[in-house]
């Protein structure tokens, strides 16, 4: 979803930018858990499409998600698409998203 709106379509002028909310990341130190969730829109509501949770002290394998993000534009012959890997720097975070080669 686009930041600050539940609209699926936002106007972005030439050379402009807008933030796209893709995931949430939370560290619950009290219970020793970390949660990462992939977000999307269903109608006008934010929806969790996928999620992972792991213990902070277990040294489990950190989850990774491969994402393809496409942005459509009026007048463009095809969407702008990029592929990314979403993971975290460590068991505690922060999240990171790297462009796939």
37 within domain boundaries = yes
16 within domain boundaries = no
Give the pLDDT score at 30.
92
In terms of phi and psi (left: phi > 0; alpha: psi -120 to 50; beta: otherwise), the region of 77 is alpha
Predicted confidence band of residue 82 (pLDDT cuts 50, 70, 90): very high
pLDDT tens figures, 56-79 = 877 778 899 999 988 888 878 898
- pLDDT, the chain, mean: 85
15 within domain boundaries = no
49 within domain boundaries = yes
Counting every residue written for the chain, the total comes to 101
pLDDT tens figures, 6-39 = 667 788 878 888 888 889 999 999 998 999 999 8
7 within domain boundaries = no
Q: How many domains does the chain have?
A: 1
4 within domain boundaries = no
6 within domain boundaries = no
For residue 78, give its domain range: 23-99
């Amino acid at each position: 979803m686009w930041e600050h709106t539940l609209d699926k379509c936002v106007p972005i002028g030439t050379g402009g930018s807008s933030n796209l909310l893709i995931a949430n990341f939370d560290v619950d130190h009290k219970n020793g858990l970390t949660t990462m969730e992939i977000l999307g829109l269903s109608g006008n509501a934010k929806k969790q499409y996928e999620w992972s949770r792991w213990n902070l002290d277990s040294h489990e394998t950190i989850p990774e998600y491969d994402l393809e993000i496409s942005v459509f534009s009026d007048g463009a012959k095809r969407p702008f698409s990029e592929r990314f890997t979403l993971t975290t720097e460590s068991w505690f975070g922060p999240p990171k998203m790297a462009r796939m080669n």
